[in-house]
Amino acid sequence: MKPLWVLDTNIVVSALLTPEGACAALFEHMRMGRFAMAWTPAIAREYSEVLQRPKFGWGQSLAANFLAQLPVDALVSPAPAPELPDRNDEPFLAAALATPDRVLVTGNIKDYPPARRAGVKIITAREALELLAG
C-alpha cells in the first residue's frame, strides 16, 4: 500500500510557482504513484481559496482543475486535532491524524509546534523526497 500523506497548501503553491523545486518534484512522485495526497473537504476549500488569490493570477480554472484531480479514494474523515497557533492549520493536522502514515508535508514546520502534533510526523518537501528515495 502506498503512503497516504497530507500536503499543506504552501506545498501546492510552491509546486506551481517553482516547477524545478522540491515541491514540484514531490508532485511528480505522486503522479508516479509513489504516494497519495490525503485531503478533506476543508482542505479542498483551503486549496481552492488560496489558488484563486489574485496575487497568483491563476484564476478559477486552475483551482477547479487541481480540485478535480484530488483522488476520491484519498478523501479522509478528519480526526479530532489539538488546537494550533493558527487555527487555519488545524484541518491539515486533523487529516494527517486520520491517515495510517500520519505524515504532514509543509514548508512551515514552525506552524505545528512539537507539543501539539499528536504523533503526526511534520516534514518538509525535501524530507519527503528523502523518504521516497529511501
Query: What confidence tens digit (pLDDT) does each residue in 1-26 have?
Result: 899 999 999 999 999 999 999 999 99
Give residue 1's pLDDT: 81
The reported pTM is 0.96
d(CA 75, CA 95): 9
Give residue 54's pLDDT: 96
Q: Domain locations in the chain?
A: 4-133
For the cut 90, the answer to whether the pLDDT of residue 134 exceeds it is: no
Q: Using pLDDT thresholds of 50, 70 and 90, give the confidence band for residue 59.
A: confident
Give residue 112's pLDDT: 98
- C-beta separation of 3 from 35 below 8 A: yes
Residues written for the chain: 134
Q: Name the residue with higher pLDDT: 134 or 109.
A: 109
Q: Among residues 68, 101, 95, 70, which one has the least CA distance to residue 80?
A: 95
For the cut 90, the answer to whether the pLDDT of residue 101 exceeds it is: yes
Q: Using pLDDT thresholds of 50, 70 and 90, give the confidence band for residue 37.
A: very high
**Cβ partners under 8 Å of residue 113, min gap 6:** 84, 85
d(CA 122, CA 74): 19
Q: What is the CATH number of domain 4-133?
A: 3.40.50.1010
Question: Cell 479522509, residue?
Answer: 76
Q: Using pLDDT thresholds of 50, 70 and 90, give the confidence band for residue 97.
A: very high
Q: Among residues 13, 3, 5, 2, which one has the least CA distance to residue 95?
A: 5
* Average pLDDT score over residue span 77-94: 96
How many other CB atoms sit within 10 Å of the CB of residue 132?
16
